[in-house]
Amino acid sequence: MASEEIADKLLYEIAQAGEALLERAFMSRTREEVMPGLRSVLVHPYSIFYRISDDIVEVIRVLHERRDFASALSKKEP
């Protein structure tokens, strides 16, 4: 089980990566094999999945790297 400090650090790193996407959204990895127009950035052990539309960065999901990305991203949220 992770400590509160580790969890806080991870949340901070995810937030920082999200803010960096505003400046460098096109520099991250394309994930066309998962979904057209999808990109991702790694914040170990999580991947932030997002797409860019009309200069807007839309975060789709944040998933643990051990997840089956294609399966998780194809499911509709209730």
Q: Which pLDDT tens digit goes with each residue over 17-51? A: 989 998 898 989 999 998 899 999 999 999 999 99
Count CB neighbours of 41 within 10 A. 20
Q: How far is CA 5 from the centre of its chain?
A: 21
How far is the CA of 12 from the CAs of 5, 30, 32, 59, in angstroms? 10, 24, 28, 16
The CATH architecture one would assign to domain 4-74 is: 2-Layer Sandwich (3.30)
Share of the chain above pLDDT 90, in %: 60
pTM of the model: 0.83
Cα separation, 71 vs 48, in Å, equals: 15
